[in-house]
Chains A and B, each alone.
Chain A
Amino acid sequence: MKILVAVKRVVDYNVKIRVKADQTGVDTANVKMSMNPFDEIAVEEAIRIKEAGKAEEVVVVSLGVAQCQETIRYALALGADRGILVQSDDELQPLAVAKLLKFVVDRENPDLVILGKQAIDDDSNQTGQMLAALLAWSQATFASKVVLGEGDASVTREIDGGLETIKIGLPAVITTDLRLNEPRYAKLPNIMKAKKKPLEVIPAAETGVDIASRLVTLKVTEPPQREAGIKVGSVTELLDKLRNEAKVI
């Protein structure tokens, strides 16, 4: 079995985001970038499946600027076998990403594609679903547990009402939720080994895929400042404020 994992390069989750003065986006100059945390979970799951002897190869793919190679190298240090970068300097929206991933899937023929349920930069939560639709494959989103069977997978999904377990046929697309696993850290010797693993770069222009944006960003602004809260002295005062000031009850 071959597993393809998609990884996105995003602003590190520890960074305090700053909006650019011209409101065209978020400032990424001199900002620490790292792998989308949900994708780390996806990489971890794929490696665990391989370590359990149920997969032979884990291929990671990233889409975007040349520096995404660093993100791929990190996945290789965690234990993936080889990497593919579909390189593009353009903004890639979820549909374009899904189409490019389909291009890679058609070349690689994996049995399973694992992605994060969303990326922490745009929080779109669309790519996995769009990819499954384009491929006409089964999909299991928001996975918190994956058990592989013969030609199928039983996936526990985190849904509003609790947990739902579904069985899907392979090949399939799975997107990861936060509680699927706890990703490992990269060991120093593995960082060194990762430098020697194969990493192929394919210019997006050579894929023939239409990656044109369908949406235009008008402006990006800071969320409004939260007003300081107050302490109330008693339940009566609380009820009074809820009723007469907030007017919610």
Chain B
Amino acid sequence: MNSHQDIRDAVAKLCTRFPNNYWRALDSKRGYPDAFIKVLNDEGYLSVLIPEEYGGAGLGLEAAGVVLEEIARSGGNPAAFHAQMYTMGTLLKHGSARQKQYYLPKIAAGELRLQAFGVTEPAAGTDTLSIRTSAKRQGDKYLVNGQKVWISRAEHSDLLLLLARTSPQEAVQRKTDGLSVFLVDIRQAVGHGLTIRPIQTMMNHHTTELFFDNLEIAADCLVGEEGKGFRYILDGMNAERILIAYECIGDCKFFIDRATEYARERVVFGRSIGQNQGIQFPLARAYAQMRAAELMTNRAASLFDAGEACAEQANIAKLLASEVAWMAADTCIQTYGGCGMAKEYDIERKFRETRLYQVAPISTNLILSYIGEHVLHLPRSF
């Protein structure tokens, strides 16, 4: 039995209640999968990483990854889930007892949505250390000013995990100091110093720009210690990469399943196109590469869950999985011929969706530079 086969089967079964036309309709009207989230939450899958004492399942990253993979594999889009999973580590590891007691049971019960994560800025994408959004301590409050971009789901989440500068770059000893993490209640903030502006993208991703203009947040929104925020975020990076890799594996399986099925059935020149090696070989190649990426992803997750170092595996898993997902998507479109372009087959939608993962949450070049510098010990380039 595969690890977590039971969870896989159960999620796959739930996903059958949300067939591809559900996601297609959301895609065309840029809707949010509220109904899907509610069901997965009610059945306990959204709180997979939340410890049992706070009402969650208390499982590890591998189980969380399996949930995402199965959603993607079914033809759905797991984005609303992954955000909560990426951010969870920071809250679990660095949140105060009070924060955990207050927020986690509500998140586990689905009363509070923690689905937004605010790091990127117009002048600081890949280079997180140069973010400028500031939070200045004033008595028992912080005053937040600045701008974020590409902050997904801010309109659909109750809470935002925000990275902001609490000391200017010149005033800190180490480059990595001076950033802090806050848990911001978006519902209270909107109209009181926070403005959200949606950005249209090529897929249904509900991403936005955030403008902070003297937003007051209570001092106890601070997560962990002031100035240590960058380290907390870095801590969560391996988890994020592993989870993204699982999503990409799910996408690969969607594309390969759909393409092989179509190739078996579509008859051209009097025989199924799958009989032609010109169709078979790209699918076989995508499958082989997917399996390799899957092994690396599982390896990274089990190291992570065992509390062992896993940065190399997490980065490689994300690189391989996001690239093969794209290759599988392209192969699938090609196999489908004209139908690959037609909305009603869902291939073009998933094709658009899976392209994101080579750019966000971290782009391929940065993964390669991690491997170059930290695994192969080549000279630092930036």
Is residue B6 contacting chain A, with contact meaning CB distance below 8 A? yes
B7 CB contact (under 8 Å) in A14, A32, A191: A191
Beta-carbon nearest neighbor of A186 in chain B? B10
Give the size range of A's interface with the partner.
10 to 19
Shortest C-beta distance, A14 to chain B (Å), equals 7
B5 CB contact (under 8 Å) in A70, A185, A192: A70
Is residue B292 contacting chain A, with contact meaning CB distance below 8 A? no
Is residue B43 contacting chain A, with contact meaning CB distance below 8 A? yes
Distance A32 CA – B43 CA, assembled complex (angstroms)? 22
Is residue B218 contacting chain A, with contact meaning CB distance below 8 A? no
Using Cβ atoms and an 8 Å threshold, which residues of chain B touch A70?
1, 5-6, 9
| Count of inter-chain pairs, beta carbons less than 8 A | 45
Distance A34 CA – B6 CA, assembled complex (angstroms)? 10
Shortest C-beta distance, A226 to chain B (Å), equals 13
Is residue A42 contacting chain B, with contact meaning CB distance below 8 A? no
Which B residues from 1 to 60 make CB contacts under 8 A with A?
1, 5-7, 9-10, 13-14, 16, 43-45, 47-48, 52, 57, 59
B10 CB contact (under 8 Å) in A14, A16, A67, A185: A185
Is residue B261 contacting chain A, with contact meaning CB distance below 8 A? yes
Which A residues from 1 to 52 make CB contacts under 8 A with B?
14, 16, 32, 34
Is residue A74 contacting chain B, with contact meaning CB distance below 8 A? yes
Could you name 19 residue pairs across A and B whose Cβ atoms are closer than 8 Å? Answer: A14-B16, A16-B261, A32-B9, A67-B1, A70-B1, A70-B5, A70-B6, A74-B6, A77-B10, A185-B13, A186-B43, A187-B43, A188-B10, A188-B43, A190-B44, A191-B7, A191-B10, A192-B57, A194-B6
Contact A192/B59 with A77-B10, A186-B10 known, Cβ cut-off 8 Å: yes
Residue in B6, B16, B261 with the greatest tally of chain A CB atoms within 10 Å: B6
Is residue A117 contacting chain B, with contact meaning CB distance below 8 A? no
A189 CB contact (under 8 Å) in B9, B14, B57: B57
Shortest C-beta distance, A29 to chain B (Å), equals 15
Using Cβ atoms and an 8 Å threshold, which residues of chain B touch A190?
44
Using Cβ atoms and an 8 Å threshold, which residues of chain A touch B14?
185
Distance A34 CA – B13 CA, assembled complex (angstroms)? 10
Question: Is there an interface contact between B57 and A185, defined as CB atoms closer than 8 Å?
Answer: no
Using Cβ atoms and an 8 Å threshold, which residues of chain A touch B45?
188
Distance A77 CA – B1 CA, assembled complex (angstroms)? 17
Using Cβ atoms and an 8 Å threshold, which residues of chain B touch A32?
9
Using Cβ atoms and an 8 Å threshold, which residues of chain A touch B7?
188, 191
Supplied contacts A34-B9, A34-B13, 9 more A-B pairs, CB within 8 Å: A16-B261, A32-B9, A67-B1, A74-B6, A185-B10, A186-B43, A187-B43, A188-B7, A191-B10
Mask: chain B, 165-196; 1 = CB below 8 Å from A; 0 = not: 00000000000000000000000000000000
Question: Is there an interface contact between A189 and B44, defined as CB atoms closer than 8 Å?
Answer: yes
Distance A242 CA – B297 CA, assembled complex (angstroms)? 60
Shortest C-beta distance, B25 to chain A (Å), equals 21
Shortest C-beta distance, A97 to chain B (Å), equals 23
Shortest C-beta distance, B42 to chain A (Å), equals 8
Distance A14 CA – B5 CA, assembled complex (angstroms)? 17
Distance A108 CA – B241 CA, assembled complex (angstroms)? 50
Give the size range of B's interface with the partner.
10 to 19
Using Cβ atoms and an 8 Å threshold, which residues of chain B touch A189?
44, 52, 57
Distance A186 CA – B43 CA, assembled complex (angstroms)? 7
Is residue A102 contacting chain B, with contact meaning CB distance below 8 A? no
Distance A192 CA – B14 CA, assembled complex (angstroms)? 17
Using Cβ atoms and an 8 Å threshold, which residues of chain A touch B57?
188-189, 192
Shortest C-beta distance, B6 to chain A (Å), equals 5
Beta-carbon nearest neighbor of A69 in chain B? B1
Beta-carbon nearest neighbor of A66 in chain B? B1
B48 CB contact (under 8 Å) in A16, A74, A77, A188: A188
Distance A34 CA – B8 CA, assembled complex (angstroms)? 12
Beta-carbon nearest neighbor of A190 in chain B? B44
A77 CB contact (under 8 Å) in B6, B47, B261: B6
Contact A74/B44 with A16-B261, A185-B14, A188-B57 known, Cβ cut-off 8 Å: no
Distance A192 CA – B47 CA, assembled complex (angstroms)? 13
Distance A192 CA – B58 CA, assembled complex (angstroms)? 10
Distance A187 CA – B261 CA, assembled complex (angstroms)? 31
Distance A32 CA – B1 CA, assembled complex (angstroms)? 12
Distance A73 CA – B4 CA, assembled complex (angstroms)? 12
Distance A95 CA – B285 CA, assembled complex (angstroms)? 46
Distance A188 CA – B58 CA, assembled complex (angstroms)? 10
Beta-carbon nearest neighbor of A78 in chain B? B10
Distance A34 CA – B44 CA, assembled complex (angstroms)? 21
Which A residues from 76 to 115 make CB contacts under 8 A with B?
77
Which B residues from 298 to 324 make CB contacts under 8 A with A?
none
Question: Is there an interface contact between A188 and B9, defined as CB atoms closer than 8 Å?
Answer: no
Beta-carbon nearest neighbor of B10 in chain A? A186
Shortest C-beta distance, B275 to chain A (Å), equals 15
Shortest C-beta distance, A22 to chain B (Å), equals 19
Shortest C-beta distance, B29 to chain A (Å), equals 27
Which A residues from 185 to 207 make CB contacts under 8 A with B?
185-192, 194
Question: Is there an interface contact between A188 and B44, defined as CB atoms closer than 8 Å?
Answer: yes
Beta-carbon nearest neighbor of B6 in chain A? A191
Shortest C-beta distance, A33 to chain B (Å), equals 9
